[in-house]
Every structure is written in C-alpha cells, then in structure tokens.
C-alpha cells in the first residue's frame, strides 16, 4: 500500500468519524467536516466560535454532489448560465435550499451557500469522500485565515485532522453571490 493510499484512508476515516478536517482551498486553508453530521458541524462552530445562524458553505467536486442540498428545480433557467459558467472556480453561490438541507448548514437562511472548487487538492478530497464538505476558513472568528498548515496548527493544535497540500494562487476567499438576485454578498 502506498503512502498516498494510507493518507487517503486516514482522511476518509477521520471524516466518517466526525473529525474536523483542515485542508487547502483556492486562497486559504479551510476547515470542515461532514455536512450530514450535526455533532461534527456543532463542534466546528464551537471551535471557531461561530454562530449557527450565519450558515456555512459546502464545497464540492461537482454540482451533482450538491443536489441533495439544493432545490435545483427552483433555480430559474435564465440564472443557470451565470452559475454554472463560474464553476469550477472561486465563486460561492447562494442557491435555493432543498427541503432536506440541514438547518445546521443553512442557519437562518432560505438559501444554501455552495461552491464547486477548482483547487485540485480540495476537489480530490471531495471526490474521495464522495460528497461535499463543509468549508469555512481555518481560523477563529475575528482572526486572519490560515494560509499554511503551520498557521492552522497554531489555531487548532491537535484538535483537528490535517490534510497535506498548499493553497492555490487566489489572493482572497471566494466571491459570494446570490443566484436569484445577482447581488454580490462578498467580493
């Protein structure tokens, strides 16, 4: 068994056991977990000192991974090109949430924040997990996002599982846009 296979098995096991994962994304180190595991999401929110009402982003390898969380039928045809032409890439879209999207992910919102990543490492992680991962910046609320694993370790120590890799070349976290209104929430 190769070293890479051992790391992949460990990463999958950590995810399935509800551990928090720190991993590289386009611009910063992300921290996330299984979006279907409420205990893991609550542990993430507690660790980051982030209120559940704000909601969280789901990061995926492809749009199909997001379908259980998105009400695809509620996305107007005239908005689809704008959304899908940005992916994979550093644009997070607020899309109508599905009836089964967990409240611990959507918070107080009627939409869910989702992104199909262009970062090879994050994309490979989602492919290997077979589903999206919760994605928020690896930092404590109010602190600068970690851009290296070393910086993330300074925030979280041994309380999380680390996935090797480096952040991409983006200079800032993803843009967040509302798919229905077109409004830019974060640039």
Q: What is residue 92's predicted lDDT score, i.e. its pLDDT?
A: 96
Read off the CATH number of the domain in which 172 is found. Answer: 3.90.870.10
Say how far apart CA 17 and CA 186 lie, in whole Å: 32
3-state secondary structure of 30: strand
Which residues are 113's β-sheet partners?
57, 94
Tens-level pLDDT at each residue, the chain (187 residues): 333 443 568 899 999 999 999 999 999 999 999 999 999 999 999 999 999 999 999 999 999 999 999 999 999 999 999 999 999 999 999 999 999 999 999 999 999 999 999 999 999 999 999 999 999 999 998 899 999 999 999 999 999 999 999 999 887 778 899 999 888 888 7
> HSE of 45 in the Cβ direction (CA atoms, 13 Å)?
20
Length of the chain: 187
Nearest to 134 by CA among 71, 47, 73: 47
Predicted local confidence at residue 54, as pLDDT = 94
Q: What are phi and psi for residue 21, nearest 5 degrees?
A: -115, 135
Which two tokens mark 21? 């994962």
What does residue 132 show for φ and ψ, rounded to 5 degrees? -70, 165
Domain count, the chain: 1
CB 57 within 8 A of CB 120: no
**If we measure between CA atoms, which residue out of 138, 114, 12 comes closest to residue 62?**
114
Helix, strand, coil: what percent of the chain each, to 5?
35, 20, 45
CB contact set of 105 (below 8 Å; sequence gap of 6+): 35, 41, 55, 56, 58, 69, 112, 134
Q: Which residue(s) pair with 161 in the sheet?
A: 21
Q: What percent of the chain shows pLDDT beyond 70?
A: 96
State the Cα–Cα distance between residues 160 and 162, nearest whole angstrom: 6
Q: In which domain, by residue range, is 46 found?
A: 3-186
């Amino acid at each position: 068994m190769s070293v890479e296979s051992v790391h992949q098995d460990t990463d999958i096991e950590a995810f399935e056991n509800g551990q928090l994962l720190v991993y590289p994304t386009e611009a910063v180190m992300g921290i996330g977990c299984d979006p279907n595991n409420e205990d893991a999401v609550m542990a993430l929110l507690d660790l980051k000192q982030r209120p559940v009402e704000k909601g969280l982003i789901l990061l995926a390898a492809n749009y199909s991974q997001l379908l259980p969380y998105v009400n695809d039928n509620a996305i107007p045809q005239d908005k689809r090109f704008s959304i899908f032409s940005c992916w994979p890439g550093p644009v997070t879209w607020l899309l109508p949430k599905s009836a089964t999207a967990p409240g611990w992910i959507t918070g107080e919102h009627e939409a869910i924040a989702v992104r199909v990543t262009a970062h090879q490492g994050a994309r490979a992680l989602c492919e290997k997990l077979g589903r999206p991962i919760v994605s928020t910046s690896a930092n404590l609320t109010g602190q600068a996002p970690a851009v290296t694993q070393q910086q993330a370790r300074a925030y979280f120590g041994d309380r999380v599982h680390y996935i090797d890799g480096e952040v991409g070349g983006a200079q800032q976290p993803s843009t967040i846009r509302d798919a229905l209104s077109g409004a830019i929430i974060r640039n």
